[in-house]
Amino acid sequence: MNERMAPPAAAASAVNIREIVSPGGVKAWLVEDYAVPIVSLELAFRGGATQDPKGRGGATNILSGLLDEGAGDLDSQAFHRALDEKAIEIGFHADSDKVGGRMRTLSKHLDRAGALLALALNAPRFDEEPFERVREQMKAHLRHESNDPGTLAWRGFRARVFAGHAYANPPDGAPETIDALERADMGRLHQRLMGRDQLYVGVVGAIDAERAGRLLDEAFSHLPAKAALDPIGPAPFLGLGAEEVIDLDVPQTTIRFGRPGPSRQDENYAAGFVLAHILGGGTGLSSRLFREVREKRGLAYTAFAGLATQDHANYLTGGTTTKNERARESLDVIRGEILDMANNAVTQEELEKGKRYLIGSYPLRFDTSSKIAGQLVQMQLDGYGREWLVERNERIRAVTMADAKRAAQAMFGDGALSVVMVGRPVG
């Protein structure tokens, strides 16, 4: 077992991360914690729904739903009985950028849990009955959401600002693309996506590096060495300064807005992250949008904003829901706050409060073994090293008023937004 300790800075953090490499060459980040006899494993394969075959949107989402529906010599019912017998949790999910999964088990059942995880990843069955069942469940989900204003607004927003890019396609597909899927698509997609070169793993709990190495080899070493991903280019952010209304006969209008934002590598990212929180993040109770939209004017129950950083796009996004007759007013208030931040940045008090919240709330992401494992994987996907546990708060703490002003001008610019509204806004 090859093992590299985290740098000294990480020792001051809440968790001590080690990078390990199994005898078979599988890399992972490990946190040993023997407070409770539980092992949590989180995994992700980069790729996700952007890799859906043409005309078969939702394929990756359905694939993730089938991985625990029978594998090896166990059909769907037998696989779930095996999980239930030992109280083992195994599940998978997908979004635009990745296929993710998790395993959670008592340490005394780790051997069985590892064997079942290995079956799910290496020998999924994709039997006819679960394939049809999961497909029908997805179609029912899509029918349910077909008149949901929030879903329509989000789908419309992404279709507008990422037109022509894979991000414009909803990860869960559409009824017609789901109908076009065949069982054979699942096997082909499984082989394309699940290569070890796109794999990221976090292991947390009552397990040492040697045992973790055996688990990694059992679960992952027999997967293809390389994934066969289609190249996905950057997603330009489109439609600034324009609005689209999706007509829906409801008494309220749901608004989604956005504009380009900084990448994690941008010099303005840390300051931009704080500014986005001040604009509309956190619990919302102290954000500018909450204060101006709800508290001062009573236009909506809430309003939010935040930075989205995906593999191929970085943008500021937000929204609110309000009465049709007050939708334009609400949008004007939102635009006004964004333009004010572009021109005047924030006050010193706002900056310090925002920094304190972001630093103080960070440990809440690490209060269970499952959360820690998830954060380990996300840090790897984001391109950070293990020192990020300390460096993240240091970067936020170091943001100055000069940084905030520079970032505000770069991020908010002329205040122009790309807007989608679902409902019947008046005016």
Two tokens at 229? 């991903």
3-state secondary structure the chain: CEEEECCHHHHHCCCCCEEEECCCCCEEEEEECCCCCEEEEEEEEECHHHHCCCCCCCHHHHHHHHCCCCECCECHHHHHHHHHHCCCEEEEEECCCEEEEEEEEEHHHHHHHHHHHHHHHHCECCCHHHHHHHHHHHHHHHHHHCCCHHHHHHHHHHHHHCCCCHHHCCCCCCHHHHHCCCHHHHHHHHHHHCCHHHEEEEEEECCCHHHHHHHHHHHHCCCCCCCCCCCCCCCCCCCCCCEEEEECCCCEEEEEEEEECCCCCCCCHHHHHHHHHHHHCCCCCCCHHHHHHHHCCCCEEEEEEEEEECCCCEEEEEEEEEEHHHHHHHHHHHHHHHHHHHHHCCCHHHHHHHHHHHHHHHHHHHCCHHHHHHHHHHHHHCCCCCCHHHHHHHHHHCCCHHHHHHHHHHHHCCCCCEEEEEECCCC
Digit-by-digit pLDDT tens for the chain (427 residues) are 555 444 433 333 457 999 999 999 999 999 999 999 999 999 999 999 999 999 999 999 999 999 999 999 999 999 999 999 999 999 999 999 999 999 999 999 999 999 999 999 999 999 999 999 999 999 999 999 999 999 999 999 999 999 999 999 999 999 999 999 999 999 999 999 999 999 999 999 999 999 999 999 999 999 999 999 999 999 999 999 999 999 999 999 999 999 999 999 999 999 999 999 999 997 656 799 999 999 999 999 999 999 999 999 999 999 999 999 999 999 999 999 999 999 998 999 999 999 999 999 999 999 999 999 999 999 999 999 999 999 999 999 999 999 999 999 999 999 999 999 999 999 7
| C-alpha 421 chain-centroid distance | 24
pLDDT of residue 3: 52
**What is the model's pTM?**
0.93
Two tokens at 126? 């994709």
Phi/psi for 111 (5° steps) reads -60, -45
pLDDT of residue 7: 40
pLDDT of residue 286: 77
pLDDT of residue 49: 98
pLDDT of residue 283: 63
pLDDT of residue 1: 59
Domains and CATH numbers, the chain: 2-220 (3.30.830.10), 243-423 (3.30.830.10)
